[in-house]
Amino acid sequence: MKTHNFYQKEEKELISINITPLIDIVFLLLVFFMLATSFIQKSTIEVNLSSGKTVEIENQKNTVVLILNKKGQVYLNKKLINISNIRNEITNIIEKNPKYKILIKSHKKIAVQKVIRLIEEVRLAGTDNIKLINLEK
């Protein structure tokens, strides 16, 4: 009879691990990662610090001049062009002569963002031979 009672009592007792501290720590970790992480993908763009005087480059025959004016309009060899067409236009020029240099003349007050966009379009066209200067006027 005694043994029977013992088993009956054991069945009633439930062993459970206290998981509250675990939840606390996991919550803290979650809050930390939610606040400290960012989903922005960082990138970089390399800029050529090419030597050579601008006047010399500009006067060379195989130089394409891209002008970025105050309004953000782009001129390719003095012809107004849409920024989305630059890649194709420069690709065509480079296909004829890969030695072409690109001279980007930007207005002093134009935002860096627009200059970088232009550099990237030229890069995507397949050339890395870029020189940057400011428009004098």
Partner 1 sequence: MSSKKKIKQINLIPLINIIFLMLIFFMLAGTITTIDPYKIKVPESIIKNDPLTPFLTIIVKKNGEIFIDTKNRKKELQKKDYLEILRARKPNEISLKIDSETSSEYFLKILKILENEKIKKVVIETNYVKQ
Single out the segment in contact with partner 1 by CB under 8 A; choices: 31-39, 59-67, 71-79, 95-103. Answer: 31-39
Single out the segment in contact with partner 1 by CB under 8 A; choices: 56-64, 75-83, 91-99, 114-122. Answer: 114-122
Contacting partner 1 (CB under 8 A), which of 33, 53, 79, 137? 33
CB count in 10 Å sphere of residue 102: 25
Distance of CA 131 to the CA centre of its chain: 20
Is residue 83 close enough to count as binding partner 1 by CB under 8 A? no
| Best CA proximity match to 74, nearest among 92, 60, 61, 89 | 89
Is residue 81 close enough to count as binding partner 1 by CB under 8 A? no
| Best CA proximity match to 131, nearest among 55, 21, 38 | 55
Whether 105 contacts 58, CB under 8 Å: no
Q: Which residues contact partner 1 (rule: CB under 8 A)?
A: 12, 19, 22-23, 26-27, 29-30, 33-34, 36-47, 49, 51, 68, 106-117, 120, 123-124, 132-134
